Amino acid sequence: MEKRVKKLNAQAAAPYLFILPFLVTFLLFFFYPLVSSFLMSFQQISGFSDMKFVGLKNYQKLFNPHYYTAIINSLRYTFWTIFVLIPVPLVLAVFLNSKLTFGRMFFRSAFFMPALTSVVVAGMFFRFAFGSQESTFVNSFFGLFGIPARKWLMESGTGMFALVVLCTWRWLGVNIVYFLSGLQNIPPELYESSKVDGANVLQRFFHITVPCLKPVVIYVVTISVYGGLSMFVESFTYWTARSPEDIGLTLVGYIYSAGFTNNDLGFASAIGVTLILIILLITVLQLSVFGFFKKENS
């Protein structure tokens, strides 16, 4: 009897033992920093031991042009990356999933290769490619079509274009993999029956492929929202220090500037708290639009 009780206790404790590494990691590297940042946002921090409670003073400092610019830039970047990195990888995944596509395995590897490259190294290359000299790669390319050279990283519109190009180059292959995994789970019988009914390629794409990939689209949009609003390294590699007229300033870049350049960790924590709230709000809104929270009819 005693052995049976011990065996039952061991079986009951086994699931908790397996999830213990995740719980420890979550508490140490996510929950604790989150709570700590929230508390720090109400403090003035001059050192590791010099902390003073200042109430909402750090949040009152958010009402400044740099913060508004950082929000606008982050939202613009997120919008354009989603605008590009949802339909383009989806169409490419459809072609790469077709057995009629020549060299599809090669192109799968080629598209995914940039994700394995250091973003700092890639950012330095794109920084030189988008240089203001006429001999740079981008200006030389557009010069073939009679387009004059531009200072790409000195203007708001062209600077954002350069950021989106770098993001597209880096994450296009990753999103293709997501959509390929979804395409391979669509039953072939659906396409065969639609062919019998006379549906053409576009009709099969919009009425079978896209609806069946809805869960994948929701996932890709969700991680794109987080990735877009938390972007920092790409902007930092382009401009390193402060960009002209803050054209490359993002929310995470503003956190870095406030916390490590201006040594104001309390204000940086306040920016971080608002960033979490913005990501949470947009994520909930986009999931609601996709009907993620609607209960299926039984």
87 close to 176: Cβ distance less than 8 angstroms: no
Residue 298 — pLDDT band, cuts 50, 70, 90? very low
Spell out the domain ranges in the chain: 2-30, 59-289
Kindly report, residue by residue over 49-90, the tens digit of the pLDDT.
Answer: 678 888 899 999 999 999 999 999 999 999 999 999 999 999
* Cβ atoms within 10 Å of 97's Cβ, excluding its own: 19
Model-wide pTM > 0.85: yes
Is 59-289 a domain of CATH 1.10.10.10?
no
Kindly report, residue by residue over 1-20, the tens digit of the pLDDT.
Answer: 555 655 556 667 777 788 88
130 close to 138: Cβ distance less than 8 angstroms: yes
Tell me 295's DSSP state.
Answer: P
**Residue 37: both structure tokens together:** 């940042």
CA distance 143 to 245: 27
pLDDT for 9 equals 61
Termini Cα distance of the chain: 44
Beta strand spans in the chain (E):
43-45, 51-53
Task: Give me the helices (H) in the chain, please.
Answer: 2-26, 32-40, 57-60, 65-85, 87-97, 104-112, 119-129, 137-143, 156-183, 188-196, 201-204, 210-212, 214-229, 233-239, 251-256, 265-289
**Which residue do the tokens 């929950």 mark?**
31
Give 51's strand partners: 45
